[in-house]
Structure 1
Amino acid sequence: MRMHISTRGLACLAATLLALASAQPAQAQANTAVGRWRLSFFNDNTPGLAPMAIQDICILANGTWYSPSFMGWRGRWFQKGTVPAGNGDRVRMLGNYANGVGNDGAEIEFVTVNMMTGAWTEWRDFPNAFFVWTRVTLIRSAPTCPPMPQAAPQPNAREVVRNPLDPGGAVPRDVPGRDDNVQLRTEQP
């Protein structure tokens, strides 16, 4: 039995083989947390993960982070691993706001090179103690960050009770003595 291959068929086969031989595997981009991120917070204590707030943070290569959207909110971070997304890269963060009275801790993982998600916990020390467990989604909004704003000095014995996870910086709902008619209040010295 004799096979007959047309010139056109031979040309298509040659082109396909040439394309397959010259194709290089795609290079996976390494995960890096450095850059500007948009954070969406969801209350982990609610059945439907009720939305809480949206903030921006800038993660810097020197192991620090700050928020350009919430003055004075900053901290430290580290990343374990830089393998392509989906292989368990983890970022851990700690931070403070309200002159160190408010605290944050997070453990988040890459979903893609431009998206992370995980657990974020926030708590405030006494006298107005509270805590919030949240889920957070981070979407990269830029590869670089603007310069860190200089925090305005706050009055010595008084501080505005604000929370980066509460929309508009309002007093958290579980702070004892909260007046629901007031968005901001001051602590007594």
Structure 2
Amino acid sequence: MSLRPILIHPDPRLKKVCDPVTELSDDIRRLADDMLETMYDAPGVGLAAPQVGVMSRMLTMDCVKEEGAAPQPMVLINPEITWVSEETNVYEEGCLSIPEQYADVTRPAEVDVTWLGLDGNTYAERFSGLWATCVQHEIDHLNGKLFIDYLKPLKRQMITRKMQKLKREQARG
């Protein structure tokens, strides 16, 4: 397992729709391990493959935040939202590709998702709370959408300018 560099917005790869995973290869299993390690190290609760420069429909997440609780790492391949609740939730979202920037985003409070597991089986689950927000946020990444795309243009431009400045500083460092 190894940490992978996380792409920082604006990066054109973060705005692209990802391709479905067509086979469960050793490369995909290695990517899943690397993504989980990178996500935990960041630290974050979710990470989508395009955030580490891989244009495949795969995400990792673990929304267990209670101290001492066992982690629940999940790897979702080709995830699809099949149902959304009418009820919504507002969460202050952040993103590993947009460090230290947070904003309230309104999303469905519950979602049903189907996906392929690393074992080749198809799974379906209803997510709620932070899990629902996280899975929607990560699936958005697979569709080339960022949480700042939900914000008003001025706020989005301010955050984008901060990220451009951060990238310039990192390039000089």
TM over 0.5: no
More strand by share: 1
User: Which gives a bigger RCO, structure 1 or 2 (Cα 8 Å, sep 6+)?
Assistant: 2
Q: Higher Cα Rg: structure 1 or 2?
A: 1
TM-score by length of 2: 0.25
More helix by share: 2
